[in-house]
Amino acid sequence: MCLFCEIIKGNIPSTLVYEDDMTYCFRDINPVAPTHVLVVPKKHFDNIRDIAAAADGAQYLSACSKAIDEVAKLEGLDSGFRVINNCGEDGGQTVMHLHFHVIGGVKLTEKMI
Give the active site residues.
99
Q: Kind and range of the H or E element at 6?
A: helix 3-9
Q: Does 19 bind ligand AMP (CB under 6 A)?
A: no
Picked from ligand AMP, Zn ion, none, the partner binding residue 28 (CB below 5 to 8 A depending on kind) is ligand AMP
CB of 54 to Zn ion, least distance (A): 13
Q: Are strands 23-27 and 16-19 parallel, antiparallel or unpaired?
A: antiparallel
Q: Comparing C-alpha atoms, which of 17, 57, 66 is closest to residue 38?
A: 17
Give me the residues that bind ligand AMP (CB under 6 A), please. 3, 12, 14, 28-30, 38, 86, 92-95
